[in-house]
Structure 1
C-alpha cells in the first residue's frame, strides 16, 4: 500500500494576512495556501481568485469588508483549478472572467480536476458541501481585455502558457501592480502538473517587462518593491528549470518515471525542500516534466485514479 500524499496529512490552520500592495489593492495570503487579490475601484470591487469553497471565500469577503463596503461586482480567475474557482458563488458578482482557454479547460477537465484535488488536499476544501457545481465564466477573452471600475482601469491578459495553458494575469496600471496567479510563487513550490515547462520562462519574461512595483503571487507573501518582485520571478524560473532539466535528461536516455523522480529530487531538494507544498507538488511536477520531455505537448488530465496510479509507481 503506497503511503498517502503529503498534502493529505496537512490539516494545520494557516495564518491569514491581508496586505496592501498599492492604493486600494490588497493581497489575501495564508502561509502557502492559495492567495486571492482585491481591487477596489471608484464604486465597486474586483476579486482575483475565488478560493476552493464558498466558506473559504467568505474569509476573503470578511477582509474586504474591513476596508470597504463597496459591492463586489467582478471575479477574475487566472486559471481553471478547483482550489481557485469553486468558491466563486459566494461573491455574488455580476461578472466572472476567465480566458477562453481556461473556460475550455473547465469544460474538458473541470470535474476530474475537482475530484483529483479534493482527494489530494482535503483541508483546502473546508465547507465543500456548499459548492454549487463547476464555476463557468460569464465573460471570456482571447488575448486581453480591460474592465473599468469607475475610472480605475484593470487589464486582464494572457501573456503565455506557464502553470496552465490558459493563465491570465491582472495588471492595475495606475499603481503598476500585478496579480500573477500561479505563474509566480514566493517561498512556495510551483505546481507544474498541468504546466508548460518550455513556455514558462518566456511568460515570466513577459511579466518582467512590465517592471511592476508589486506582485500578489499565487502563493506566498505579497511582493512589494522591484527587488523583491524580480527575486521572486527568478526564483520561480529556477524552480521550473530545476524540475524540468533532470527529468528531461532521464527521458532522453529512455529512463523511467521513478528515475526521473530521483533525479529531480537530487536537484531540487537542496534548494526547495523547505518551500510550502513542496512534497505535495513534486510527484505531479515530475510526471508532467517527464511527459513533456517525451513529446506529450498537452498535459494529460489528472483524475483521482491516475493520481493514485502515479503515486504507487513512484513508491515502487
Structure 2
C-alpha cells in the first residue's frame, strides 16, 4: 500500500494522519467527523508535529484543534499523547490503566533523558535515547491528562456515528484501546499494530496482544489504521500476531534451556530465529520483547527496568552497525 506523509481520507468523514517511516516516535493518528462533532484518535510526539497535523485537518474539514470535541488516547506513550495540549476544548478519553501510566512518565522526563544522553551521561542507553529521539522537541510540552476514563468498553457518539472504544490491554502497554467505527468498517488500533516494524512489548502478557489481534481479525472492517506504519488489511494483522507467536516460541525454548534474556535475544537475532520478520525495522526491540516474555515465564511481576533495556537495545543497535 502507498505510504506518504500526511492526511489520507479513508472514508466519508474519516481520516488518517501517517508519518513514515513509522520508527521510534513517528506515529499515526486519526480523525472521525460527523457534522460539528469530531473525535481525534491520538496526538503526536511534540507540539510542532501535532500543530502541523491539526492544520491539515482544519484545511480538510474546517475543524481546528480548538474545535475538536473529543480526543481518545489509545495508550500512554508520549508519541500518542504529547500534543494533547493543542486540543484545548476536547474531552480526553483513555482507559483507566493508560491514565495511571501517563501519570508516571511525562514529557519533562523525556526532555531530561534526551539532554542527559546528548551530553554523554547515561552511557550507551543515553546515547541511543538521544539518537532515536533526536527529531523531537520535548521541552516546554504542557501535559493534558485524560478527563474521562473507562475500563472494558465504552460506546460513544460522534454526531450520529457510533464509535466503540475497546480496551485490549495490557499488551503493548498497560491499557491499550482500539477505536472501532462500525458504519465505516474502520478500526484505529494504536500500537497494537506496528506494520513493517518490530512491535515492542513493554507490558504483555503476549497472549493478550495476540487476542487483541484476533479481535481485530473478527471485526467487519476494511480499513485498519495502525499506530505505526502504513494503512493495512487483515493480512497485516495476521503478520503481527504471527510475529508475537513466533518470538514467544523462540524465547520459551531458550528460557527452558537456561539462557538469560539478553543472550537469548541476541541468539534469536543471530541464529536466524527472527525468520521472515528479520527485515522489519527496529530489530533491537527484540531485547525488550524477550525480557518481557522471560518475566512472564517466571511469574516476575516487577516493572521493567527501562534504562537497562535502553542500554541493551543501544548495544544491540550499535553492534549491528559496527
Taking structure 1 as the reference length, the TM-score comes to 0.83
CA shift for structure 1 position 239: 1.5
Q: Distance in 2 between matches of 1:181 and 1:268?
A: 27
- Residue in 2 that maps onto 1:27: 16
CA shift for structure 1 position 251: 1.5
Greater shift, 269-278 or 37-46, is seen at 269-278
User: Is the alpha carbon distance of 1:50 and 1:301 closer, same or farther for their aligned partners in structure 2, counting shifts above 3 Å?
Assistant: farther
Q: Distance in 1 between matches of 2:19 and 2:6?
A: 6
User: Is the alpha carbon distance of 1:56 and 1:130 closer, same or farther for their aligned partners in structure 2, counting shifts above 3 Å?
Assistant: farther
Q: Secondary structure at the match of 1:97?
A: strand
**Structure 2 residue 160 is the aligned partner of structure 1 residue 151:** yes
Structure 1: runs of 5+ lacking an equivalent? 1-13, 224-228
CA shift for structure 1 position 111: 6.8
- Residue in 2 that maps onto 1:171: 180
- Residue in 2 that maps onto 1:9: none
- Residue in 1 that maps onto 2:140: 130
- Residue in 2 that maps onto 1:276: 281
CA shift for structure 1 position 84: 1.4
Q: Aligned pairs, how many?
A: 293
Q: Distance in 1 between matches of 2:267 and 2:235?
A: 25
CA shift for structure 1 position 301: 5.0
Out of 57, 60, 66, which is 2:50 matched to?
57
Contact 1:260 1:290 in 2 (8 A): no
User: Is the alpha carbon distance of 1:301 and 1:105 closer, same or farther for their aligned partners in structure 2, counting shifts above 3 Å?
Assistant: farther
- Residue in 2 that maps onto 1:226: none
**Structure 2 residue 74 is the aligned partner of structure 1 residue 78:** yes
- Residue in 2 that maps onto 1:221: 230
CA shift for structure 1 position 152: 1.8
User: Is the alpha carbon distance of 1:123 and 1:27 closer, same or farther for their aligned partners in structure 2, counting shifts above 3 Å?
Assistant: farther
User: Is the alpha carbon distance of 1:115 and 1:200 closer, same or farther for their aligned partners in structure 2, counting shifts above 3 Å?
Assistant: farther
CA shift for structure 1 position 300: 2.0
Contact 1:82 1:113 in 2 (8 A): no
- Residue in 2 that maps onto 1:4: none
Q: Distance in 2 between matches of 1:129 and 1:193?
A: 24
CA shift for structure 1 position 263: 3.2
CA shift for structure 1 position 297: 4.3
- Residue in 1 that maps onto 2:191: 182
Q: Distance in 2 between matches of 1:243 and 1:34?
A: 24
Out of 26, 32, 48, which is 1:39 matched to?
32
Contact 2:168 2:208 in 1 (8 A): no
Q: Distance in 1 between matches of 2:181 and 2:158?
A: 11
User: Is the alpha carbon distance of 1:20 and 1:50 closer, same or farther for their aligned partners in structure 2, counting shifts above 3 Å?
Assistant: same
Out of 274, 295, 298, which is 2:299 matched to?
295
CA shift for structure 1 position 142: 1.0
User: Is the alpha carbon distance of 1:162 and 1:47 closer, same or farther for their aligned partners in structure 2, counting shifts above 3 Å?
Assistant: same
Taking structure 2 as the reference length, the TM-score comes to 0.81
User: Is the alpha carbon distance of 1:66 and 1:216 closer, same or farther for their aligned partners in structure 2, counting shifts above 3 Å?
Assistant: same
Q: Secondary structure at the match of 1:128?
A: coil
User: Is the alpha carbon distance of 1:43 and 1:313 closer, same or farther for their aligned partners in structure 2, counting shifts above 3 Å?
Assistant: closer
CA RMSD of aligned residues (A): 2.7
Contact 1:21 1:216 in 2 (8 A): no
Q: Secondary structure at the match of 1:39?
A: strand
Q: Distance in 2 between matches of 1:115 and 1:190?
A: 24
User: Is the alpha carbon distance of 1:306 and 1:286 closer, same or farther for their aligned partners in structure 2, counting shifts above 3 Å?
Assistant: closer
